[in-house]
């Protein structure tokens, strides 16, 4: 441009906005969060809905343990919950969200005791309280930073006196209904943590065990043979189980140096021979298992006999078809032993060491796993060891000490599941399970679960409100339990540990010679009572809750404990719907614990990701994944997620830039004044609104993300914004078609920010704040609704036809560009031939609109037999203002630009 050429820039309506292109999420999000909290935004939103008498939606928060920083799996869970709550709120519900923390139990006590040994119970509890409070504050700060809206100042804590009292009242109801009993039976025992464990406190890991074949002699020179992977349990052997209907071979088995008469299940003879080197040389007879019932076999190294019994759990998958029964060391063994009056022997102490009852002086005080080899050596000395092998199997380990568990018979308290099972199974089928396979998983778990061992030999927990009489027998009394609950509600559970037996008896009006129970309740009782402690007792909440949402492991954890205790307490499930999500995994689909992640140098704390990328990137990641499956995360994935974030942010910025001079009250145009392009984008927007609202309703957040992302990148940016750029920049500010496009962009902006608000909590609110025509926070708004004025699809049908025609045009244009006759679309003059019945004939006559849609210089339409297009280089000159090839006036401008400049 020459020095004296006119500068038309000031005559253009160039976009302008205060909404920055660079997000600076890490710096700006905390400022916005501080503003939300200073303004009481969560409370304002809830109050507005309550004032509208909006229907409630209750998502009951499953409490994370207050024992560490927020892991990415916990972040996934909390953000998913927030997506539900925010979307339900904007869909017109009142959604109070009370967050909670699980405070008692082994995870915290284990860490406290490791820091200092030999602490008194009161000091352990004091330190545990401080530990829990510290991490509640840390986790709460992380959840807030992630943009999660909740009643953060009033969370529920399972260590709060009122909550503890509710636990004890649920326990009292169980006692009242006869569902609590004490018994000496095998439980999963952690010698590392010195306590019994519930199934949900057990994790499985590979373990190599010595598997051995052992001979038990009968009185007729024949021998039963058992196979076991737990040689250490042989001192407690009291029986041998066979299957009544299996066929057993009584035969001579020979090796190089001996022949002996053994009894082996027929189906297992071959594998037995392969593993022991003992070959069947002669079959003496075949018998059914039931013919062996009642016979006595000599214990291989102790002076007693073991009775042969029948049991349906005997299989021919491995072993010999004869199972060594130690009723003190296994659930099946215990049941079979009780049914057959075998007695109970469990010669193992809390540390996993043998006691005098093992009858082997050399092993007393020795750990059971360290005793495997000495017992195998003893068997070999006695001639009873027929073979051994290494057996690799999935074995239960303590979730906290990581040590293998042992099954050990001890006096414990239990909830009888049989009395609750039928009703629980009925209630499962009244619940909506998301995904649907969740129903079968929890149904199978409840159907098969044994009685629930609820006593723990720990200090940091809710005490078992049980006393023992002078005879040592437990006194289970609902009235006493309720009195303890009243006492705890006032003083907290510390009173149980601080007062002597006599002092507690006096406070509870009980006989002075009673002794209090020293055990605490399983922590799954704590969280499992939240339906009563929280939902029943928090204003604005109710039970059953509308939704429970946790990771898939909670089918055997919180979902199940809550179900069983709710059925026991109120006779119904505590939830209407249950949604389960997968675990977070690395890019190789490997589930990472915090310790594993640290070893691998892979950050797993949520703070790393929101401090590096921003909370909205974490939230966008959550919305982009398939929560039904394993959820991958890592640095590369977050870098990928940042790309669509930038596109979405840029789309909002472009819309705001084009709306800088738009006042909806005075500039909005009527539908009949909208151009085809405007009507088309509003029809497409209707589809987006409809699809996103349906997706939010069914918790398909990935579909929301994909729908909005595709709309913004394809319909909005690639077509609409590009095609209307000329009218937006170069038309007169108040031209009808510019105001028409602004009207459409205004509606698109409002709809997009509202639909994005649950996901991009910070960014959507920031964009909303930068608009000149909005007020308050986007989170106080309702979701957009479908605009009935744009539902007939007529504009979409026409535009679909024009896109087909554009493809024909583009073919002709590309040929000319390849031939280097011109360089770009806007240099092309098109002669378009259309058939006589062309459905788009009328709209094609609007050449100004067609030049926008096709981005060409000029268009001539003629009728012929078939659709065809011929492209030529335009002969028009370039208008210096709009940069289009147009006929120019003496002013050197095209007519439109000349009119605008002269009018300004």
CA 695 to chain centre: 18
Judged against a pLDDT cut of 70, whether residue 593 lies above it is answered with: no
pLDDT at 598: 61
Pairing of strands 305-310, 239-242: parallel
Which segment of 292-296, 460-464, 595-599, 725-729 scores lowest on mean pLDDT?
595-599
Residue pair 230/371 in contact by the 8 Å Cβ criterion: no
C-alpha to C-alpha distance for 819 and 869, rounded to whole angstroms: 16
Confidence of residue 721 (pLDDT cuts 50, 70, 90): very high
- Looking from the CA of 625 toward its CB, the CA atoms found within 13 Å total 29
Residues 752-787 as b/e (b if ≥16 CB within 10 A, e otherwise) read: bbbbbbbbbbbbbbbbbbebeebeebbbbbebbeee
Angle at 728 between CA 727 and CA 732, to 5 degrees: 75
What does the DSSP 8-state code read for residue 888?
B
Confidence of residue 197 (pLDDT cuts 50, 70, 90): confident
Least Cα distance to 457 among 502, 367, 519, 540 occurs for 519
CA 13 to chain centre: 49
pLDDT per residue over 535-562, tens digit each? 999 999 999 999 999 999 899 899 999 9
Residue pair 576/544 in contact by the 8 Å Cβ criterion: yes
Mean per-residue pLDDT, 743-768 = 98
Q: What is the mean pLDDT of the chain?
A: 93
pLDDT at 130: 94
pLDDT per residue over 394-451, tens digit each? 888 887 788 898 998 888 999 999 999 999 999 999 999 999 999 999 999 999 888 9
pTM metric for this prediction: 0.87
Starting at the edge strand that comes first in sequence, how are the strands of the sheet with 858-863 ordered?
Answer: 858-863, 828-834, 868-873
DSSP string covering 268-323, please?
Answer: GHHHHHHHH--EEEEEEEEEEGGGGTT-EEE-SSSSSEEEEEE-TT--SSSS-SEE
C-alpha to C-alpha distance for 564 and 585, rounded to whole angstroms: 31
Residue pair 779/149 in contact by the 8 Å Cβ criterion: yes
Residue pair 560/442 in contact by the 8 Å Cβ criterion: yes
Peptide bond into 435 cis (omega under 30): yes
Least Cα distance to 621 among 147, 149, 88 occurs for 147
More reliable by pLDDT, 634 or 511: 511
SS3 category, 250 = strand
pLDDT at 4: 62
- Tokens 């013919």 locate to 291
Angle at 684 between CA 660 and CA 767, to 5 degrees: 35
Would you state the torsion angle of the CA atoms of residues 619, 622, 624, 626, taken in this order, to the nearest 10 degrees? -170
pLDDT per residue over 673-682, tens digit each? 999 999 999 9
pLDDT at 106: 81
What does the DSSP 8-state code read for residue 58?
-
Judged against a pLDDT cut of 50, whether residue 141 lies above it is answered with: yes
C-alpha to C-alpha distance for 289 and 322, rounded to whole angstroms: 9
505-511, long-range: CB within 8 Å, 24+ apart, which pairs?
505/467, 508/480, 508/483, 508/484, 509/483, 510/467, 510/480
pLDDT at 396: 87
Q: Which two tokens stand for residue 640?
A: 């990928």
Pairing of strands 584-585, 631-632: parallel
pLDDT per residue over 64-83, tens digit each? 999 889 999 999 999 999 99
Judged against a pLDDT cut of 50, whether residue 1 lies above it is answered with: no
Provide CB contacts within 8 A for 776, sequence distance 6+.
Answer: none
pLDDT at 634: 84
Confidence of residue 121 (pLDDT cuts 50, 70, 90): confident
Which segment of 206-210, 285-289, 484-488, 743-747 scores lowest on mean pLDDT?
206-210
C-alpha to C-alpha distance for 512 and 535, rounded to whole angstroms: 38
Mean per-residue pLDDT, 306-328 = 94
Mean per-residue pLDDT, 142-167 = 97
């Amino acid at each position: 441009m020459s020095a004296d050429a006119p500068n038309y820039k000031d005559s253009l309506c160039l976009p302008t906005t205060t909404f920055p292109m660079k997000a600076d999420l890490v710096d700006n999000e905390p400022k916005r969060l501080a503003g939300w909290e200073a303004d009481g935004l969560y409370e304002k939103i809830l109050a507005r809905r309550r004032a509208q008498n909006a229907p409630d939606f209750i998502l009951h928060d499953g409490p994370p343990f207050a024992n560490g920083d927020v892991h990415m799996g916990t972040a996934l869970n909390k953000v998913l919950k927030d997506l539900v709550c925010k979307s339900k709120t904007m869909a017109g519900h009142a959604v109070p969200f009370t967050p909670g923390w699980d405070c008692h139990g082994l995870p915290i006590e284990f860490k406290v005791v490791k820091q200092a040994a030999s602490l008194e119970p009161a000091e352990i509890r004091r330190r545990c309280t401080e530990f829990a409070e510290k991490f509640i504050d840390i986790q709460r700060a992380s959840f807030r930073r992630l943009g999660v809206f909740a009643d953060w100042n009033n969370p529920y804590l399972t260590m709060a006196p009122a909550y503890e009292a509710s636990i004890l009242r649920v326990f009292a109801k169980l006692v009242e209904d006869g569902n609590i009993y004490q018994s000496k039976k095998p439980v999963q025992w952690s010698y590392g943590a010195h306590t019994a464990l519930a199934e949900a406190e057990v994790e499985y890991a590979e373990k190599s065990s010595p598997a051995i074949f052992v001979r038990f002699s009968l009185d007729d020179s024949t021998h039963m043979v058992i196979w076991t992977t737990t040689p250490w349990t042989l001192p407690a052997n009291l029986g041998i189980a066979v299957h009544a209907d299996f066929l057993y071979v009584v035969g001579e088995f020979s090796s190089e140096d001996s022949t002996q008469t053994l009894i082996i299940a027929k189906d297992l003879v071959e594998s037995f021979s392969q593993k022991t080197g003992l070959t069947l040389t002669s079959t003496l007879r075949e018998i059914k298992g039931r013919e062996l019932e009642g016979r006595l076999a000599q214990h291989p190294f102790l002076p007693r006999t073991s009775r042969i019994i029948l049991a349906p759990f005997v299989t021919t998958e491995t072993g010999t078809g004869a199972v060594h029964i130690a009723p003190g060391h296994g659930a099946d063994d215990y049941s079979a032993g009780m049914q057959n009056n075998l007695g109970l022997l469990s010669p193992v102490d809390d540390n996993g060491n043998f006691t005098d009852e093992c009858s082997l002086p050399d092993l007393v005080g020795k750990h059971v796993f360290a005793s495997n080899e000495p017992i195998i050596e003893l068997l070999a000395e006695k001639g009873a060891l027929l073979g051994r092998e290494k057996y690799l199997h999935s074995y239960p380990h303590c979730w906290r000490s990581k040590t293998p568990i042992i099954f050990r018979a001890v006096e414990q308290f239990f909830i009888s599941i049989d009395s609750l099972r039928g009703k629980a199974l009925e209630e499962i089928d009244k619940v909506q399970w998301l995904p649907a396979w969740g129903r079968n998983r929890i149904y199978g778990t409840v159907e098969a679960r044994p009685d629930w061992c609820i006593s723990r030999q720990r200090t940091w927990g809710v005490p078992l409100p049980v006393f023992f009489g002078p005879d040592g027998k437990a006194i289970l009394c609902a009235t006493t339990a309720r009195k303890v609950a009243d006492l705890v509600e006032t003083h907290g559970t510390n009173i149980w540990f601080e007062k002597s037996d006599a002092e507690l008896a006096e406070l509870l009006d009980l006989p002075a010679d009673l002794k209090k129970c020293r055990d605490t309740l399983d922590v799954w009782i704590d969280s499992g009572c939240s339906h009563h402690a929280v939902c029943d007792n928090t204003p604005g909440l109710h039970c059953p809750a509308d939704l429970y949402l946790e990771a898939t492991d909670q089918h055997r954890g919180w979902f199940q404990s809550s179900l069983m205790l709710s059925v026991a307490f109120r006779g119904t499930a505590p939830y209407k719907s249950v949604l389960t999500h997968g675990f977070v995994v690395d890019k190789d689909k490997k589930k990472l614990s915090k310790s594993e992640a640290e070893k691998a140098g892979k950050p797993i704390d949520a703070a790393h990701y929101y401090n590096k990328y921003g909370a909205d990137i974490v939230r966008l990641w959550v919305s982009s994944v398939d929560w039904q499956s394993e959820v991958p995360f890592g640095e590369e994935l977050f870098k990928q997620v940042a790309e669509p974030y930038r596109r979405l942010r840029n789309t909002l910025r472009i819309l705001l830039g084009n709306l800088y001079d738009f006042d909806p009250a005075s500039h909005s145009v009527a539908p009949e004044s909208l151009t085809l392009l405007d009507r088309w984008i509003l029809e497409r927007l209707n589809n987006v609104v409809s699809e996103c609202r349906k997706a939010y309703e069914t918790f398909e957040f990935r579909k929301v993300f994909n729908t909005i992302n595709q709309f913004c990148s394809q319909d909005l940016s690639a077509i609409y914004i590009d095609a209307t750029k000329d009218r937006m920049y170069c038309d007169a500010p108040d031209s009808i078609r510019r105001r028409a496009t602004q009207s459409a962009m205004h509606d698109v902006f409002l709809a997009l920010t509202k639909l994005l608000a649950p996901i991009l909590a910070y960014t959507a609110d920031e964009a909303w704040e930068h608009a000149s025509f909005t007020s308050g926070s986007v989170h106080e708004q309702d979701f957009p609704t479908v605009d009935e004025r744009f539902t007939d699809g007529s504009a979409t049908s026409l535009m679909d036809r024009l896109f087909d025609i554009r493809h024909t045009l583009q073919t002709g244009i590309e040929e000319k560009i390849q031939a280097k006759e011109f360089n770009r679309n806007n240099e092309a003059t098109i002669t378009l031939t259309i058939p006589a019945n062309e459905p788009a004939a009328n709209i094609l006559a609007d050449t100004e609109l067609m030049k926008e849609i096709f981005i060409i210089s000029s268009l001539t339409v003629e009728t012929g037999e078939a659709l065809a297009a011929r492209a030529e280089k335009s002969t028009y000159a370039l208008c210096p203002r709009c940069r289009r090839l147009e006929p120019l006036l003496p002013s050197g401008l095209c007519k439109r630009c000349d009119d605008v400049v002269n009018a300004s």
